[in-house]
Amino acid sequence: MSGELLRAEGIGKRFGGFVALEGITVSFAAGQLTSIIGPNGAGKSTFFNILSGALTPTSGKLHFRGRELNGLPQHRFVHQGISRSYQITNIFPDLSVHENVRVAAQALIVSYDIWRNRARLVELNGRADAALDAVGLLARRNELAKFLSHGQQRALEIAIALVAEPELLLLDEPTAGMGPEETKDMVALLERLADKRTVLLVEHKMKMVLGLSKRVVVLHHGRLLADGAPDEIRSNPEVRRVYLGQSEGYG
Amino acid sequence: MTGPSSSEALTKPASSGLGWLLDQRVLLSIAVLALLPWLLPSKALAVNVLIYGVVVMGYNLLFGYTGLLSFGQAAFFGAGAYFTGIAIGRYGMPWFAAVPVAVLLSTCLAAAIGVVSTRTRGIYFSMVTLALAQLVYYVALQAASFTGGENGLRGFTVDRISLFGLQVNFLDPVNKYYVLMAFAALAMWFQSRILNSPFGAVIEAIRENEQRARACGYDVERSKLVVFMLSGAISSLGGCMLALHLSIVPLDILHYQTSGMIVMMVLLGGASSFFGPFVGAASFLILEDVISLWTPHWQIIVGAIFVLFVLFLPKGIWGTLLDALGIGKARR
């Protein structure tokens, strides 16, 4: 717990007349796992897209390590230390598993070199393999990514985000579409990741979120509804009304 | 972009085995091309295969490796040819100065068209490249005092090629072929370097998943512009070869039909394979040569064959062959 890493100040986002987010002020400390939950349409994904630079907020400010991120193009976010995974599997299907991760690691070092042989960037190969090892995919490194199972593709996606050595790792529903076995593996992986770095998670599976997170932030209709430790969230009547009451997964 | 200092730290001498292996595709391709004039019915056909092979190879960088379907590649093919012809005929440059100048100017043209077109995506990109290439066509048509307008560019002839005191009679078809093959070899070597480079990895990532490439930290728009320019540069070298070969530049090579033919050739041969463009150019030109002997409506038959290919062999002749032989991506 070494102080504040990311601070959102009055973040709002409009799409035409539709207000997706309004006045979200929240800050995230370094070194803990925080989950963002909320019913469908609560603005979780919009918020996540703003935090990762895919969307620009219509109002409010974003500070990361004291630096303002507003106006920075999306591809610069990784260079600042914010890396993300996607809700819908988002990998490079026709590249090998290893190349998926290697090319992600390369982004931080070199883009426009058309002259040297990329095979000579040997350190990247090592880093890619280390990231694959961390998610348990090292044995499949030479296969094409499209031939992995769904759960493995989700893990690969995390390896892609992880290889950038981000200070803040944003994970958008890493267990989406997974069966119970795969989910279990993923939870174990998330626990390992949360030991070492700051993780921000959007997730639907309530039981998992409450068991895993140090802190839970609840969004509803684009506003911040609650923010606290899992126990507080569990007993918060507002949250129970809008969200938990509907969820069979809450246990 | 990172300075050499930080990236140099990651560089170590190549593992000799892999580097050597990857170089082979250039040598193997050159070996096949060296035999071509003796395999094909005419030397003229072989020269055309070389020229279109280079043009299509440049296009393959954009379409096959980056996934950008441009319908305007004829602009750079034509630009290379016109600039070479104008440099030689109007400004009296020797060929070895005219060719680099022409490639450089064509690359500038590619930068101009690329700046506009790479801001768009999908069908809009295709349409913008088509429209801008047609603009180049009309400029060449209207600026008749420079380009010869409808009649094409005439009045320059390269009959000897001399370099380092060596003189070659360029009118001899065999000499001509091997001189032009040296250009093709240069283009292949350059393309192979790009594909093996870190930037080659970036464009493949963009082809596979643009959104993911951006989230990984790549400036997708700028990378597309760079590859658009590289692709234009290589295709324009094919144009230079055409100008040297024909000693005229027909206006038609700037027409969108030429762009369409380039797309057909890359699909016939196999997009995103190294030698596929030459196979595609050869198949197309041989088909044209053979079928036009017995019917003037050869395009109907070539068109039908093309449709069959798209339906049943989407990886093209060369891509399908490589698959069948189980040759992996790295060696293509």
What's the pLDDT tens digit per position in B17-29? 544 554 588 888 9
User: Which residue in chain B has the smallest CA separation from A73?
Assistant: B219
C-alpha A7/C-alpha A63 separation (Å) is 5
Q: Is the ipTM of this complex over 0.90?
A: no
Q: What is the mean pLDDT of each run of 10 residues along chain A (251 residues)?
A: 81 92 91 88 90 93 91 92 90 95 94 89 93 93 93 92 92 87 88 88 83 90 90 87 58 37
Residue B10 confidence (pLDDT)? 37
Query: A36: which 2 tokens?
Result: 């963002």
Instruction: Spell out which residues of chain A touch residue B9, defining contact as CB-CB under 8 Å.
Output: 123
Query: B265: which 2 tokens?
Result: 């050739």
Taking the Cβ of residue A66 and every Cβ of chain B, the question of whether any pair is shorter than 8 Å is answered with no
User: Which residue in chain B has the smallest CA separation from A126?
Assistant: B10
- For the stretch B145-180, pLDDT in tens is 999 999 999 988 888 877 777 788 888 889 999 999
pLDDT at B5 over 50: no
Q: What percent of chain B has pLDDT over 70?
A: 91
Compare B289 and B56 and report the one with higher pLDDT: B56
User: Which residue in chain A has the smallest CA separation from B220?
Assistant: A75
pLDDT at B13 over 70: no
> What is the pLDDT of chain B when averaged over all its residues?
89
3-class SS at A45? helix
Can you spell out the DSSP letters for B162-206? EETTEEEETTSHHHHHHHHHHHHHHHHHHHHHHHHSHHHHHHHHH
Which of A109, A117, A164 is opposite residue B6, by nearest beta carbon? A109
Mutate to test the interface with B, among A50, A51, A75, A89 (most CBs of B within 10 A): A75
* 3-state SS record for A109-127: CCCCCCCCCHHHEHHHHHH
The nearest CA of chain A is from the CA of B186 a distance in Å of 14
Q: Give residue A164's identity as a one-letter amino acid code.
A: A
Residue B8 confidence (pLDDT)? 36
Inter-chain CB proximity B193 and A115 less than 8 Å: yes
Inter-chain CB proximity A109 and B13 less than 8 Å: no
Q: Label residue B112 by pLDDT band (50, 70, 90).
A: very high
Domain ranges of chain B: 25-255
Residue B6 confidence (pLDDT)? 36
The nearest CA of chain A is from the CA of B10 a distance in Å of 5
Q: Label residue B12 by pLDDT band (50, 70, 90).
A: very low
Q: Given the DSSP bridges, would you call strands A198-202 and A168-172 parallel, antiparallel or unpaired?
A: parallel
Query: B62: which 2 tokens?
Result: 């954009």
Instruction: Spell out which residues of chain A touch residue B222, defining contact as CB-CB under 8 Å.
Output: 112
Residue B17 confidence (pLDDT)? 57
pLDDT at B76 over 80: yes
pLDDT at B328 over 80: no
Least confident of B6-15, B104-113, B312-321: B6-15
User: Which residue in chain A has the smallest CA separation from B190?
Assistant: A115
Instruction: Spell out which residues of chain B touch residue A120, defining contact as CB-CB under 8 Å.
Output: 10-14
